[in-house]
Amino acid sequence: MLFGQDHADIYDLVYQGRGKDYAQEADDLARLIKERRPDAASLLDVACGTGEHLASLRKWFERVEGVELAEAMVTAAQAKLKDVTVTQADMRDFQLGRTFDVVTCLYSSIAYLDEAGLSRAVAAMTAHLAPGGLLVIEPWWRPEKAIDNRGTSDILNGENVTVARVSHGVIRDGAHHLQCQFLVADADGIRHFTDTQVLSLFSVETYLAAMRDTGLTAEFMEGGPSGRGLYVGAKN
């Protein structure tokens, strides 16, 4: 399964080492939310990963929770955020039985779904919004912005661990197929693993239609945490 234990063990090191500032992203997002919904007190982060965004978002909201599919990532988030509920569930059909002022789905996690899955996930997230609530989705690249046939590489050093990461992405059948290979050296020796991520290249209109189909008033904002924009929907 994608994002298994091997990946979870090095996830924070890899992405923070590559320059991702979760705390700043969370603060910027919270300010955007508070501008639109000053009284927002509860937030659910869907596909929360290891909980890095939640670690900062909880200072802005009275109650935060997470939903995550990968068991190893849930375990990592629960260990990091002992006072935060993190539920293992699929974003396409989760049912928590409670609502939130804000629901977020960040770092392009939504793009791991096909178009039918996108519609189901947006419907599930909207169902967890309180009246007047906000849904914020960070996408992967849209078709006209995606780069074909590109490789990247990084060497990340942590406490008693070094990770070499190389990746190569190609565009095929409306999706970005990204193969990542990891070489990890730590006290247990050297190990290697590979994951292949398939990220859908949805258009702006596809995202907006999925949100509007659930009754949200939706808009696309350029920029966002990773430069890919943000989709913001308000529940009437």
pLDDT in tens, 1-50: 689 999 999 999 999 999 999 999 999 999 999 999 999 999 999 999 99
Say if CB 182 and CB 161 are below 8 A apart.
no
- Same topology, domains 5-141+202-235 and 150-200? Answer is no
Q: How far is CA 5 from CA 66, 88, 163, in A?
A: 19, 15, 15
How large is the average pLDDT for residues 108-132? 98
Q: Where are the domains of the chain?
A: 5-141+202-235, 150-200
Task: Report the mean per-residue pLDDT for the chain.
Answer: 97
Q: How far is CA 7 from CA 10, 91, 206, in A?
A: 6, 20, 30
pLDDT band of 90, cuts 50, 70, 90 = very high
Percent of the chain with pLDDT over 90: 98
Q: Look up the CATH number of domain 150-200.
A: 2.20.130.10
pLDDT in the model for residue 70: 97
Q: Which three-class secondary structure state does DSSP give residue 36?
A: helix
Whole-prediction pTM value?
A: 0.97
pLDDT at 57 over 90: yes
How large is the average pLDDT for residues 112-132? 98
pLDDT in the model for residue 2: 80
Neighbours of 193 (CB within 10 A): 14
Q: What is the pLDDT of residues 171-226, one digit of tens each?
A: 999 999 999 999 999 999 999 999 999 999 999 999 999 999 999 999 999 999 99
Q: Which two tokens stand for residue 91?
A: 């974003």
pLDDT in the model for residue 1: 62
Say if CB 77 and CB 55 are below 8 A apart.
no
pLDDT in the model for residue 184: 98
How many residues in the chain?
236
Q: Look up the CATH number of domain 5-141+202-235.
A: 3.40.50.150
